[in-house]
Structure 1
Amino acid sequence: MAQAAQEKEKGNAAFKAGDYPTAIGHYSAAIHADRTDATFPLNRAAAYLKLGKNEDAERDCSTVLTLSKGNVKGLFRRAQARVGMGKLSEAQNDLKEAAKLEPANQSVKQELSKVTELVQKDSLKKPKAAPVDVSSKPTPKRRRVPITIVEADGRRSTPAPVDAPNASSSSAAKTVSKPAPKPSTAEAPDLMKPVSSRPLNAPANGTTPSTIPAPPPKPAAQPVPKPSSFKDAKSARDSSKPSRVGGGIFRASGEHTIFKTREAGQPAPAKQDTAPPNAEPVAPPPPKQDPPSPPPAPAPAAVPAPKIAPPAATQISVASPPVKTKSPFTLFDFTRAWESASDPAARFALFSQIPPAALPALFQTSLEPALFVEIVDTLGARATTDGKLVAGYMRAFSSVPRFGTVVRFLSRSEKTRVREVWGALGVGAGAEGVDGGLPPQLEEVWAPVFR
Structure 2
Amino acid sequence: MSTISTPKGRAQFSKEKGNEAFKKADYANAIGFYTAAWMEDPEEPTYPLNRAAAYLKLGKNEDAEKDCTIVLKLSPKNVKAMFRRAQAYYAMSKLHDAQKDLQAACELEPKNESILLLIGEIDLKLQAKREKAMAAAAAGKFVDPNASKRRRRVPINIIEDSAINPPASKSDTKIQFEAPKASDGSGLTAVSSRPLKTSPESTTLPHSTSSTVQAAPEPLNEIFPPNSSLPPSAGKPRPTPASFKDAKDARTTSRPSRVGGGIFHATGSSKVFTNRETAGEKGKSPPIKAPETYFELAKAWNARRTPEERWALLSTIRPLKFPSLCKTSMEPEFLATLVETFNYILNTADLETQILVKSYMDVLPDIQRFNTLFMFLIAKEKAVVREVLSKLGVDKPEGQWAELLK
Please tell me the TM-score bracket, short chain as reference: 0.3 to 0.5
Please identify which structure carries the higher helix content.
2
TM-score normalised by the chain length of structure 1 = 0.31
Q: Which has the larger radius of gyration?
A: 1
Structure number with greater CO (CA < 8 Å, separation at least 6) is 2
TM-score, normalized by length of structure 2? 0.34
> Between Structure 1 and Structure 2, which shows a larger proportion of strand residues?
1
